[in-house]
Structure 1
Amino acid sequence: MQDISGLLHKIRHGLDTQVSVARLRRQRTLADAVGGRVVLLTGASSGIGRAAAVQLGAAGATVLLVARRADELERVVTEIEAAGGRAAAYPCDLNDFDALDAMTAKVLADYGRVDILVNNAGRSIRRRLDESYDRFHDYERTMRLNYFAAVRLILAFAPGMRANGDGQIVNILSLANLYGGPGYAAYVASKAALDSLSTNLQAETHTENLRFTSIYLPLVRTDMITANPVYQQATANALTPAEGGQIICDAIIDRPRRLAPLMGRVAALVDTVLPERADAIRNARFTSGM
């Protein structure tokens, strides 16, 4: 457990350093970035989605909150409005594509556009290959929420962004997309699909003012990790939901193409240059109980 705690500490320090450098260089505030704009966040009823929504509302955005739990969404709306912000709840199970399509149609009917889309909702599954032989549905349901739901949202709101000549799509990915996540193959693969989609769509729209931002988040203390005893004992060095929400806001201010800890980017380089060595390192982490 000491190994994973030390690793999380190094990763967190690297991400903090990158964000701090960007903050020193920036010439605008969150209010400059989102004032008068419509921001839609999925997974907004709790965790980093909720934390980001509160900050965005305080900065002058009209925040549209999407999640399954209507009562929790209404609490976030109340919190934002109590601080003088504007927000609306759109309860929706993103696994239900008919409901998702109805929700996006209503959003466009109500507001006419979405300026910034944050694909934050996600499902994580920890299951080894030998435990997955008869569980193809794990891969299906993970892709359905983490990838296909995000794709439908992008396809719904990107046309308006392109027509307006401005927009940003922020995808919350995992550090495991750079560092490796053995035991989490279904989850990491679904996030990798979204990452690859963003790379290709950004290339298509490179000359337009449409930005695809990939955030490779390390471990965050949310409900998603509660079923994992390894991570439960290593949360001292994990990000808090407030810190994760702040990273989303930083990404909206700075509009980077990618936001990741230095260690993750180095690991991705090693994987490209020395794939066998990278596989051996990941296997050692996996077999030691990570």
Structure 2
Amino acid sequence: MNNYSLLEHFLFPPTALNRQKLGRELEGKTVLITGASSGIGEQLAYLLAEIEVHLILVARRGDKLSAMKSEIETKAARVSVFPADLRNEQDMEGLLAFLHQLPNGLDIVVSNAGHSIRRSIYQSMDRYHDFTRTMAINYFAPVQLLLSTLPLLEKRQGHILNISTVNALLLPLPHWAAYQSSKAAFDTWFRSAAPELHMRGISTTSIYLPLVNTPMIQPTAAYRKLPAMSPQHVAKIISKSIYTKRKTYKPWWLIFARLAGYSR
């Protein structure tokens, strides 16, 4: 955040994080983070490292997860790593079996894994796999994960945090058909399920993020010079949401972006 430009400081004001409240909320609990090997997931894991919490880190890169485990466990947290591609049925089944045998159950799920793609429809006519792959990780994987773990979360009066995008709340944009439809699909599923989950004692939080400076945006050259939130900043927003139990996080300027879109 210290490297923010003046414009980024204006767009992304600081987040005040009460680490004592966070510690009290998480001590002794088990937190699952998907997409944990880079970007937002990685920074969240490091932020929580000072707390006596059990972190379950899931991502495709097992070597990176092992390195993170070694570093984080020099501090207070305990870490389990589970290398998995959540689009792969066998990997998902293995993860779910692992979660259901946890001796202390599951308290928090941070659904962060995702895939972004920017491509024109006319460049996608022979790339149907762009759509199936994007839906697989951005929609079907979190739905399958949560359907299986809801009994665990209900038992612990747990909390689900969905790391979403402001695109899910904006009018659809050209070149983003695969990404925006997949993120909107899970956002709609999650918001539809939320009242039922609340009745069973499970808290839900939807975090709608602007552009974030992670490896995911690097293939899109046009984004490299645009204002972007830092993954460290996002990790603070997620952490604060864990103890405040806020239902949504949205950038302060989103209402103006939505009005601009509807006025086109």
SS in 1 for 2:199: coil
Q: Which residue of 2 aligns with 1:174?
A: 165
How far apart are the structure 2 equivalents of 1:221 and 1:32? 30
The number of equivalent residue pairs is: 260
How far apart are the structure 2 equivalents of 1:14 and 1:198? 27
Cα shift readout 1:32-86 (whole Å, capped 9, x = no counterpart): 2211110000111111101101222312221000001111001111111011321
> For residues 251-262 of structure 1, what are the structure 2 equivalents within 5 Å?
251-262=241-252
Report the AA paired with residue 53 of structure 1. A
CA shift, 1:14, in A, is 4.9
2:223 paired with 1:231:
yes
Report the AA paired with residue 91 of structure 1. P
How far apart are the structure 2 equivalents of 1:163 and 1:253? 19
Report the AA paired with residue 87 of structure 2. N
Cα shift readout 1:138-181 (whole Å, capped 9, x = no counterpart): 111100001111111111211111133x1111111112122344
Structure (1 or 2) with the greater helix fraction: 1
How far apart are the structure 2 equivalents of 1:74 and 1:225? 25
2:70 paired with 1:73:
no
> For residues 195-214 of structure 1, what are the structure 2 equivalents within 5 Å?
195-214=187-206
CA shift, 1:182, in A, is 3.1
Name stretches of at least 5 consecutive residues in structure 2 with no aligned partner.
none
Q: Which residue of 2 aligns with 1:287?
A: none
Report the AA paired with residue 163 of structure 2. I
Aligned mate of 2:184, from 185, 192, 211: 192
Q: CA RMSD in A?
A: 2.4
How far apart are the structure 2 equivalents of 1:129 and 1:249? 37
Call closer, same or farther: CA 1:187–1:111 in 2, change over 3 Å: farther
Call closer, same or farther: CA 1:252–1:217 in 2, change over 3 Å: same
Q: Which residue of 1 aligns with 2:86?
A: 94
Q: Which residue of 1 aligns with 2:235?
A: 245
Alpha-carbon contact 1:178-1:267 (below 8 Å) kept: no
Report the AA paired with residue 28 of structure 2. G
> For residues 158-169 of structure 1, what are the structure 2 equivalents within 5 Å?
158-164=150-156, 166-169=157-160
Q: Which residue of 2 aligns with 1:125?
A: 117
CA shift, 1:134, in A, is 2.5
Q: Which residue of 2 aligns with 1:16?
A: 13
SS in 2 for 1:82: coil
Name stretches of at least 5 consecutive residues in structure 1 with no aligned partner.
281-290
Alpha-carbon contact 1:169-1:213 (below 8 Å) kept: yes
Q: TM-score, normalised by structure 2?
A: 0.90
Q: Which residue of 1 aligns with 2:144?
A: 152
Call closer, same or farther: CA 1:135–1:33 in 2, change over 3 Å: same
Cα shift readout 1:199-233 (whole Å, capped 9, x = no counterpart): 11112233332112111111111110111111112
